[in-house]
Amino acid sequence: MTQPPKYTGDAAWYGADLAKSDDWLLALTPAHIAELEAAAEATLDRDVATLTAADLPLPTLDAELRKVRNDVVDGRGFALVRGMPVDRWSKEVSARAYWAIGARVGRAVVQNPVGHVLGHVKDIGGDADNPTQRGYQSAANLPFHTDIGAEVVCLFCLRPAKSGGRSSIVSAATIWNEIKDRRPDLAEVLARPFFRDRRGEEVEGQDPWYEMPVFMPAGERMAVAYVRRFIFSCQRFEQVPRLTDQQIEAMDLIDSLAYDPRLKLDMDFRPGDIQLVNNLITLHTRTEYEDWPEPEKKRHLYRLWLTIPDGWPLPEPLYARYGADPETGRPLGINLPPGAQPNAPLDVEAIAAE
């Protein structure tokens, strides 16, 4: 096969360089916050999941959010919006203000089989190593990965953990370039399909696994799809080929590079911050954390998975997990079971994860 080339441009960055500046950070002004609050309060009688950008006008902030969207979708692949006053806002206001910002970037898609379009990153007793559960339901370390159903991932910090839970990101293009330089043989392996576990989210007619390369050329960009846990848990199926030594070595190299201090960017993720990450060109991680014992103080992030209807052309393998939305032609979120509808609950009950 012909290997994809090395990649240049804004998306091929080194964290050590970006840590020297904060031009990827938008600090909200009092005027911005007043706009968000007014827009949110005007829609308190409506379901968050039904709201559009037009329902949540932000006349002053819109210009700044266009720059954020350009950076995330077509530029370096991430941004941080700082200053949402979660200490004085109710969850009802916070959720709508967050939704207003997300709606300027893309369209929310469903994140789980119960239909959440406003997701919750919160420890409810989940086990990240259980092939039927998800890491965001636990306090475990989540190694560098991409989310499985999003073009852009947005995380809004309502409350931090007692300790730990540090967030870091890394450029997929930079990792690819480093692998091309060091081990072109492993670059070739990573451009071929890997079997991945659907983790019980298949619909009728689907196998409980699918195939997708880790790195996929997308014109002038390099797309990535990588969840090592899902690749390894797929080995539970006898019908799936065993991982080769080269595949394991290639994943080891990705992990080693992702944690290299030259490559990764650690983010000071505070209450009221919104982290926006282009999930197609950026990997992210979270360290293990210790939570507060009091339920009302537990670490809690709101999450949005966004699709970008007018985004750049995507490699065909990216549609292997969920298929395409018939309306937009973009990757679809979770395939809902019969009777389930998209919904946006403002909290998640601390029930045992199933």
CA angle 10, 320, 133 (to 5 degrees): 95
Within-domain flag for 328: no
Q: What is the token pair recorded at 92?
A: 């009802």
Is 138 within the bounds of a domain?
yes
Report if residue 166 sits inside a domain.
yes
Per-residue pLDDT of the chain (354 residues; tens, 9 = 90+): 567 788 989 999 999 999 999 999 999 999 999 999 999 999 999 999 999 999 999 999 999 999 999 999 999 999 999 999 999 999 999 999 999 999 999 999 999 888 999 999 987 665 555 555 555 657 788 999 999 889 999 999 999 999 888 999 999 999 999 999 999 999 999 999 999 999 888 877 889 999 999 999 998 899 999 999 999 999 999 999 999 999 999 999 999 999 999 999 999 889 999 999 999 999 999 999 889 899 889 999 999 999 999 999 999 999 998 888 888 889 888 888 888 889 999 987 633 333
* 325 part of a folded domain: no
What tokens does 297 get?
Answer: 């103080």
Cα distance from N-terminal residue to C-terminal residue, the chain: 42
Closest CA to 16 of 268, 282, 263: 263
**Please, what's the largest Cα pairwise distance for the chain?**
59
55-110 pLDDT, tens digit each:
999 999 999 999 999 999 999 999 999 999 999 999 999 999 999 999 999 999 99
**CB-CB contact of 255 with 143 (8 Å):** yes
Residue 17: Cβ-neighbour burial (10 angstroms; 0-12, 13-18, 19+): exposed
Residue 320: CB partners within 8 Å, gap ≥ 6? 210, 211, 212
Q: Say whether 274 sits in a helix, a strand or coil.
A: strand
pTM above 0.85, yes or no: yes
Read off φ and ψ for residue 298, nearest 5 degrees: -65, 150
User: Residue 233 in 3-state DSSP?
Assistant: helix
247 found inside a domain: yes
DSSP state of 86: T
| The pairing of beta strand 25-27 with beta strand 78-82 | parallel
Phi and psi at residue 103, in whole multiples of 5°?
A: -65, -20
Residues 15 and 33: their CA atoms lie apart, in Å, by 29
The region, left, alpha or beta by phi > 0 then psi within -120 to 50, assigned to residue 306 is beta
Cβ(149)–Cβ(331) below 8 Å: yes
Q: Tell me the residue range of the domain where 236 lies.
A: 15-319
Query: Could you say which DSSP state residue 294 is in?
Result: S
CATH number for the domain including 249? 3.60.130.10
Which token pair is 65? 């959010």
Structural domain includes residue 139: yes
Is residue 6 one of the residues assigned to a domain? no
**Where do we find the tokens 């916050």?**
33
Residue 115's contacts (CB-CB under 8 Å, 6 or more residues apart) are 334, 336, 340, 341, 342, 343
The structural domain count of the chain equals 1
Evaluate whether residue 113 is within a structural domain.
yes
Q: Tokens in use for 31?
A: 């005027």
198: Cα separation from own chain's centroid: 17
Strands (DSSP E) along the chain, which ranges? 25-27, 78-82, 107-108, 119-121, 142-145, 152-159, 163-164, 167-171, 193-197, 209-213, 215-218, 221-224, 265-267, 274-278, 282-286, 289-290, 300-307
